[in-house]
A and B are shown apart, each in its own frame.
Chain A
């Protein structure tokens, strides 16, 4: 039995891992090390309700003082970890070498930035509480013209929030239809229309050429020559897993920390959440997700793995699920969709803002998209868990459509 477990990355996956260790009866020392100045907090509201302005930051907290005491956690904020060595089972915290018996890697991901824009004020990415506070303050200051670069889920949410606040906002997206690389063109269009109907300007099928402005942003120049005036630019062009601190550690890093089916990266070392790439037994390939539900569940699974023998260990093979809130719509996707999949719309009632569609491939149900249709999403998710065929899914759809 390990006497001390170190968790690096004090966010959702890390906190859930710590909780799971105690629930399972682990009595040893648990260190929870994070490089942020804040105690663990929840990120999804940062582009939604928190950004809209009413919510206090305490409401985001994932750990109360009571909880920390109850779980007997040794928590350190502002503690960047580096130089993991899996041979000696050591790592460095702010330059000091520390040993561990077992390690949980939960360093998540960070927002990808536009190159050469660091010196220009008014350009933000959105990943942390501090990022959200800065954008929120800029939303409140006067009547800013906002350009969102990237029409992915976070970009779309920021645009929806800005627009709800009455702020003029333009989304620039290099694909012809936002989100089409995930949802396909047809479903992507449903979401674009939602934005257009709510007053968001969309500039699609065009790349950003240059950000204009010396020390303060003035505009965004697009490759087709359009110049969009801007006081605030929010960049939402994806996330990069935080694995730099693991270079030379001996672990395999390939767009994430590579783990086996059970979340084990090396003996006594597991990874979970946005940073982890693992062999998903159900899909027969390795995947990495950036979903809230996955970070929570994988944090738990990975932590328990450390307390199990190889024979006891279970594969981690969930059906992925995530949600995105845009305007008054709850968008949910369960499974893994591919724009090339067979695609069937089951409910399309624009008046009520409701929409359900399913994705299939090789005779199997692969994903379900729901807009204000949580019940359907969960029903099809259950079907996926039971490995339903495409035919079975279509039959089920006839019953509910």
Chain B
């Protein structure tokens, strides 16, 4: 699976980073970085939670 972030929507509020810090990181420059674009299958539930919790619906998963 592949993590896709719509950076036009993302407002860098770092919710996803708290849920999956190994996948998402909001750095000191206030931008979100995707650390792992193709996480392994065992990260799915965390990733799905990030998708749901993102207030901007900026994250999606491509299979």
A: residues with CB less than 8 A from B are 16, 44, 292-293, 296-297, 300, 321, 323, 325, 330, 332, 372, 374-375, 377-378, 381-382
In the complex, A66 Cα to B60 Cα: how many Å?
17
Q: Is residue B44 contacting chain A, with contact meaning CB distance below 8 A?
A: no
| Chain A residues with CB under 8 A of B18 | 378, 381-382
Q: Which chain B residues numbered 30 to 45 have a C-beta less than 8 Å away from chain A?
A: 30
Contact of B55 among A44, A372, A375, A377 (CB under 8 A): A44
The reply to whether A375 and B52 form a contact with Cβ atoms under 8 Å apart is no
Contacts of B30 in A (CB 8 A): 372, 374
Q: Which residues of A contact B53 (CB under 8 A)?
A: 293, 296-297
CA A210 – CA B16 in complex, angstroms? 46
Give B12's nearest chain A residue, CB to CB. Answer: A374
30 contacts between A and B (CB under 8 A): A16-B52, A44-B55, A292-B55, A293-B15, A293-B53, A293-B55, A296-B52, A296-B53, A297-B53, A300-B52, A330-B11, A330-B12, A330-B13, A332-B13, A372-B30, A374-B12, A374-B13, A374-B14, A374-B26, A374-B30, A375-B14, A375-B17, A375-B26, A375-B28, A377-B14, A378-B15, A378-B18, A378-B26, A381-B18, A382-B18
Contacts of A332 in B (CB 8 A): 13
- In the complex, the answer to whether B15 meets A375 with C-beta atoms within 8 Å is no
A292: chain B residues at CB < 8 Å are 55
A293 to B17: give the CA distance in the assembly, Å: 15
Q: Main secondary structure on chain A at its contact with chain B?
A: helix
| Residues of B contacting A296 in the complex (Cβ-Cβ under 8 angstroms) | 52-53
Q: How far is the CA of A54 from the CA of B30 in the complex (A)?
A: 24
Q: Which 9 A-B pairs have the closest CB atoms?
A: A374-B14, A378-B18, A378-B14, A374-B13, A375-B26, A374-B26, A375-B14, A378-B17, A374-B12
Nearest neighbor of B13 in chain A, beta-carbon distance = A374
Docked-complex contact A323 and B55, CB < 8 angstroms = yes
Shortest beta-carbon distance from A136 to chain B in Å: 21
Q: How far is the CA of A377 from the CA of B15 in the complex (A)?
A: 9
Q: What residue in chain B is nearest A325 (Cβ atoms)?
A: B11
Residue of B nearest to A352 (CB): B30
Q: How far is the CB of A326 from chain B (nearest CB, A)?
A: 13
B18 to chain A, nearest CB (A): 4
A58 to chain B, nearest CB (A): 13
Least CB distance from A212 to B in Å reads: 39
What separation, in Å, do the CA atoms of A160 and B13 have in the docked complex?
19
